[in-house]
Amino acid sequence: MSFVTFLVDDDGGVLKALARLLRAAGYETRAYASPQNFLAKYDPALPGCIILDLAMPGLDGLALQQELAEQDPERPVIFLTGTGDIARGVRAMKAGAVDFLTKPVDGTQLLAAVDRARRKDDEARNARANREGFERRIARLTPRERQVLDYVVLGRLNKQIALALGTVEKTIKVHRGRVMAKLEVRSVAELVRLTERAGLGPTR
Partner 1 sequence: MSTLTFPSANSRTPALGSLLAGPAFTAALYFLGAEAAFLIGTLSDRIFAPFWPPNIVLFCALLLAPPRLWWLYLLATFPAHVVAELGVGMPMPQLLVAFATNCAVALVNAAATRGLLGPLPWFDSLSKALLYVAITAVASPALVALGGAFVPILGGGSVYNYWTFWVQWCLSNTVSILALGPVVLTWLSDRNRPAAHLSSGAIVEGALLSAGLFLVCAFAFESGKGAVADGLLPAILYLPLPLILWAAIRFGARGASVAILVVAVALLWRTLNGPNPFSADTPEESVFAIQAFLIGVSIPVLLLGTAIEETRRAEQAVRKSEESMSFAAIAADLCLWHFNYRSDQFWITDHGRRMFDLALDAPVTKQSIIDAIHPHDQPAARSAIRSVALSDRLIDTEFRIIRRDGSIRWVRARARADRNARGEKIKISGTFADITTQKAAESELAQQRRDLAHLMRVSMLGELSGSFAHELTQPLTAILSNAQAAKLIMANASPDFAEVAAALDDIISEDDRAGKVIHHMRGMLKKGEAKFEPINVNDLVGSTLRLLNNELIARRVTCDCNLTKELPPTSGDPVQLQQVLLNLIMNAVEAMHGVSSSRRIITIRTRTLGQGKVSIDISDRGTGVAPTHEHQIFQPFFTTKERGLGLGLAICSSIMKLHGGTLDLENNPDEGATATLVIPGEDVHLVS
Which positions touch partner 1 (CB under 8 A)?
A: 11, 13-14, 16-18, 20-21, 23-25, 55-58, 60, 80, 82-83, 103-108, 110
**Inter-CA distances, 160 with 117, 186, 203, Å:** 48, 22, 17
CB of 23 to partner 1, least distance (A): 8
CB of 119 to partner 1, least distance (A): 20
CB of 51 to partner 1, least distance (A): 11
- CB of 71 or CB of 83, closer to partner 1: 83
Report the alpha-carbon distance of residue 42 to residue 115 in Å, rounded: 21
- CB of 60 or CB of 72, closer to partner 1: 60
Q: Is the distance from CB of 99 to CB of 74 less than 8 angstroms?
A: no
- CB of 60 or CB of 115, closer to partner 1: 60
Strands 77-81 and 28-32: unpaired
Q: Which of 52, 45, 46, 47 is nearest to 31 (CA)?
A: 52
The distance from CA 148 to its chain's CA centroid, rounded to whole angstroms, is: 30
- CB of 1 or CB of 87, closer to partner 1: 87
CB of 83 to partner 1, least distance (A): 6
- CB of 11 or CB of 150, closer to partner 1: 11
Task: Estimate the crossing angle of helix 143-153 against helix 169-182, to 10 degrees.
Answer: 90
CB of 49 to partner 1, least distance (A): 17
**CB contact set of 202 (below 8 Å; sequence gap of 6+):** 150, 151, 153, 154
